[in-house]
Amino acid sequence: MIYKKTETLPSAVELRGLFVNDPLALRVQRAPVFHRDSEGRIMRDMPQDKSLDSTMDLLADGYRFISKRCQQYQTKVFETRVMLQKAVCMQGEEASRLFYEPDRFTRKGAVPPNTLKLLQDIGSVQSLDGEDHLERKRMFLAMMKPDSLQRLSDIFAEQWLMQLDKWVGKDSIIFLPEVQDILTRAVCIWADVPLTEPQAKLRRVEFASMISGAGSVGLRNWWGLFLRNQNERWAEKLISGIRETQKENPSGSPLEIIVWHRDREGKLLDVETAAVELINILRPTVAVAWYLVFVAHALHEHPECKIRLQSGDPRYLEAFVQEVRRFYPFFPFIAGRATTNFEWHDYVFKEGSLVLFDIYGTNHDPDIWKDPEAFRPERFMENEINLFSLVAQGAGDVVKGHRCPGEWIAIELMKRSAHLLTNMMMYDIPEQDLSIDFSRMPAIPKSKLIMSNIQRVAQPVAPDLSPVTLDGYAPRSDFAFPGTPPLRENMETQGVEPLAQ
Ligand code: HEM
């Protein structure tokens, strides 16, 4: 419902009529929804959620908190209070374009400290703006060369197949901790982080607890914070040790890229910041485990997808993975603070305003997605998806904005796991509670996905894949996925170095 400045203003009675049968809407403001600013221009009043504070509603509605109210107020933007602070909630493609305009919103001061500490943390790339952000982002993008991504994917498959041999002898496994373990080992080998066997177990628990503590309050959050401290001390010791004993070698592994990264003034990152950024590679790669559970969940719920994946069509594999990222809940929303005063669709935003951009709701917005509650990979083969519509890992320009630099990693590992699940093993999904609680963040099926009767398939099922890797997977060199920035082109146009051929 967008009224232009020149249109006749609707009366308050007309507007109230929209909400008359809606109990939640009784909390919507009853005042007129337009006002004149100091220059006499007609500006829109932001629809208001009138509850004194929505924090409890947010915890109860979880991923659906913003969508539910957008539907009830027939709007894509409304104002509420969260933890006693005013917050503007917004969803949809236009909101995505606004929120991901480089430097329009800062992440500084937007996220509660206990959540921030468990995710990107103070001093991280996400907390930076402008030139400092651009420069630090380069460091992350330098790790995302096609050959490096392919190497991570191959290490991951190798670790998976080693675990698979152990799964075969067991009655059943719980998939979530198993894939967390595989990912912890794979990302550490890839990044060149040394791990003994006991350390591998400890690191898995630390990373998993940070991820699962980030979206919670109370015990789960405190446990995550406790383990985060332990993890930081380990990462700091590792980085100091390398700086003390090795020569500077910035062109090497992800660990070396961080250890020897120099800021705009030519200084090495201080040890605490370097540790934070190392953890910002390792922890989110382990977080991909949540997506891998959703891959297996989708295969179980939609056996027709499994059959198509076994045919070895690489386009369908990509479409399937993108649909998993769109359909299933992971990040509910992202918080930012306006860096300046500005107007958007006749709404006024003041510098410092807190804005919550609805990731889950935008991925389910009926204005973008036809039949959004249906799981239908084909939509990614039929329609053009742009950089602002599929927002599972942020939106827009990956170099200049805060879009996730690990998107290619997540997609590639999901594709590889879909391939392994459909072509390299057979398993049963016994009776269990696979329901997903949308108030728990990050969400996961209640059972964490139990598999039984696991068997290894001797020969990869997928035909005609060449060149063939250890699991019959077709490697790729372009890493361009629908709705995701193409790796090389994007980096080349932005002049990001170094680039792989
Ligand atoms: C599990 C899958 C993942 C999800 C759902 C996810 C989600 C996100 C989202 C939504 C953002 C945008 C935050 C914002 O707008 O402020 C983001 C940023 C970021 N992600 Fe990811 N991510 C994932 C995997 C990864 C991986 C594998 C890495 C590293 C290898 C990574 C590293 C980062 C970093 C460093 C940022 C900050 C970027 C910046 O501020 O410019 N993420 N991620």
Q: Is the CB of 404 under 6 A from ligand 1?
A: yes
Closest residue to atom 21 of ligand 1, CA basis: 404
- Decide if 70 is inside a domain: no
Please give the distance, rounded to the nearest whole angstrom, from the Cα atom of residue 72 to the centre of ligand 1. 31
| Distance separating alpha carbons of residues 83 and 395, to the nearest angstrom | 26
| Distance separating alpha carbons of residues 239 and 231, to the nearest angstrom | 12
Sign of CA dihedral 40, 45, 50, 55: negative
| Distance separating alpha carbons of residues 175 and 411, to the nearest angstrom | 19
- Decide if 117 is inside a domain: no
Residue among 113, 123, 107 at smallest CA distance from 214: 113
Neighbours of 105 (CB within 10 A): 26
Q: Tokens standing for 70?
A: 């957008």
State the pairing for strand pair 354-358/85-90: parallel
Contacts within 8 Å (CB) and 24+ apart, 221-227: 221/114, 221/115, 221/118, 224/118, 225/114, 225/117, 225/118
Closest residue to atom 28 of ligand 1, CA basis: 406
Q: Is the CB of 106 under 6 A from ligand 1?
A: no
What DSSP state is assigned to residue 355?
E
One pLDDT digit (tens) per residue for the chain, 501 residues = 333 343 444 444 444 443 433 333 333 444 446 777 777 777 788 899 878 899 999 999 999 999 999 999 899 999 999 988 999 999 999 999 999 999 999 999 998 887 877 777 788 999 999 999 999 999 999 999 899 999 999 999 999 999 999 999 999 999 999 999 999 999 999 999 999 999 999 999 999 999 998 877 788 888 888 899 999 999 999 999 999 998 887 668 999 999 999 999 999 999 999 999 999 999 999 999 999 999 999 999 999 999 999 988 999 999 999 999 999 999 999 999 999 999 998 899 999 999 999 999 999 999 999 999 999 999 999 977 899 999 999 999 999 999 999 999 999 999 999 999 999 999 999 999 999 999 999 999 999 999 999 999 876 544 444 445 677 787 777 778 878 887 754 455 444 553 332
Q: Is the CB of 208 under 6 A from ligand 1?
A: no
Cα distances (angstroms) measured from residue 355 to each of 111, 117, 338: 11, 20, 7
State the pairing for strand pair 342-344/354-358: unpaired
* CATH number of the domain enclosing 259: 1.10.630.10
Tell me which amino acid residue 334 is. Answer: I
- Decide if 83 is inside a domain: no
| Distance separating alpha carbons of residues 295 and 309, to the nearest angstrom | 12
Q: Tokens standing for 358?
A: 């609805």
- Decide if 201 is inside a domain: yes
Q: Is the CB of 239 under 6 A from ligand 1?
A: no
pLDDT number for residue 250: 62
Distance linking the first and last C-alpha atoms of the chain: 49
- Decide if 275 is inside a domain: yes
Atom of ligand 1 nearest to the CA of 99: 15
Count of domains forming the chain: 1
What DSSP state is assigned to residue 342?
E
| Residue span of the structural domain in which 155 resides | 126-493
Closest residue to atom 40 of ligand 1, CA basis: 126
- Decide if 484 is inside a domain: yes
Q: Is the CB of 231 under 6 A from ligand 1?
A: no
Write down the pTM of the prediction. Answer: 0.90
Q: Tokens standing for 447?
A: 């059972």
Alpha helices in 55-171 (DSSP H): 55-61, 65-73, 93-99, 113-118, 130-141, 146-168
Atom of ligand 1 nearest to the CA of 100: 15
Q: Is the CB of 331 under 6 A from ligand 1?
A: yes
| Distance separating alpha carbons of residues 330 and 392, to the nearest angstrom | 7
- Decide if 40 is inside a domain: no
Q: Is the CB of 409 under 6 A from ligand 1?
A: yes
Substitution site in 391, 404, 487 for ligand 1 pocket (most atoms within 8 Å of beta carbon):
404
- Decide if 445 is inside a domain: yes
Residue among 161, 222, 32, 135 at smallest CA distance from 400: 135
Atom of ligand 1 nearest to the CA of 143: 30
Quote the distance between the C-alpha of residue 334 and its chain's center.
Answer: 10
Substitution site in 193, 261, 393 for ligand 1 pocket (most atoms within 8 Å of beta carbon):
393
